[in-house]
């Protein structure tokens, strides 16, 4: 398997650093990041119809309906730059979405190569998110929305790991450490799967 065909998913609780690490890994492998949260936020900022549809949902920390989210991801993955690989951040987020993604990838003769799980304890997540709230002022980083999003992560998102775990493609990475250390842990895990650029 060469790097150009890496199809990856990065999963972790809110505040695990998956957005930051996703960008770093994507750059290293020359593949695009497909972040559903970023897509929604860009639409909210741009005042699009989609943005208007989802703004209250994001502020509450609820999930956008599966069908809508699935359509957006399929559209994005159908763009040319994702033909040779991609890193998904924030999708799939529940087992129904796993089913939708699997169906879509299978229709193209594709499958995920690896699932990177960034492991961070809940207390650490809350601490980091509280800091982010002060620095960035994201409208869903209120104490209530943070707790709600973490609950959804534990109840709905964590179970998707069982599906991919059965397939033997989950790499559990310790998400506590410096940014560079964590990037190195991830690239080492991907390298072990043969997923890396020749140095």
Q: Does 58 bind ligand ADP (CB under 6 A)?
A: yes
Applying CB under 6 A, the site for ligand ADP has a residue count of 17
Q: Does 50 bind ligand ADP (CB under 6 A)?
A: no
Q: Is 155 part of any known ligand binding site?
A: no
Q: Smaller CB distance to ligand ADP: residue 21 or 69?
A: 69
**Token pair listed for 40:** 């929604």
Judged by CB under 6 A, the residue of 9, 14, 31, 100 near ligand ADP is: 14
Q: Smaller CB distance to ligand ADP: residue 14 or 21?
A: 14
Q: Does 21 bind ligand ADP (CB under 6 A)?
A: no
Burial of 132 (0-12, 13-18, 19+ CB in 10 A): middle
Helical H runs in the chain?
Answer: 18-29, 36-46, 49-60, 66-77, 95-107, 122-136, 143-152, 160-166, 179-192
Contact 119, 174 (CB under 8 A): yes
Show binding-site residues. Answer: 15-20, 36, 41, 62-64, 90-93, 97, 132, 138, 149, 177
């Amino acid at each position: 398997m060469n790097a150009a065909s890496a199809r990856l998913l990065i999963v972790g609780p809110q505040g695990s650093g998956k957005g930051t690490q996703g960008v770093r890994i994507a750059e290293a492998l020359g593949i695009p990041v497909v972040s559903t949260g970023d897509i929604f936020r860009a639409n909210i900022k741009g005042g699009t119809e989609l943005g208007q549809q989802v703004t209250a949902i994001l502020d509450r920390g609820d999930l956008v309906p599966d069908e809508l989210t699935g359509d957006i991801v399929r559209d994005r993955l159908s763009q040319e730059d994702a033909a040779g690989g991609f890193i998904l951040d924030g999708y799939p987020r529940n087992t129904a979405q796993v089913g939708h993604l699997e169906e879509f990838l299978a229709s193209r003769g594709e499958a995920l190569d690896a699932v990177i799980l960034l492991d961070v304890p809940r207390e650490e997540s809350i601490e980091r998110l509280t800091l982010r709230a002060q620095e960035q002022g994201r409208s869903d980083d209120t104490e209530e929305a943070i707790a709600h999003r973490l609950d959804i992560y534990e109840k709905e998102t964590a179970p998707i790991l069982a599906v991919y775990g059965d397939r033997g493609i989950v790499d559990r990475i310790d998400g506590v450490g410096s940014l560079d250390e964590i990037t190195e842990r991830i690239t080492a895990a991907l390298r072990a799967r043969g997923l890396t650029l020749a140095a």
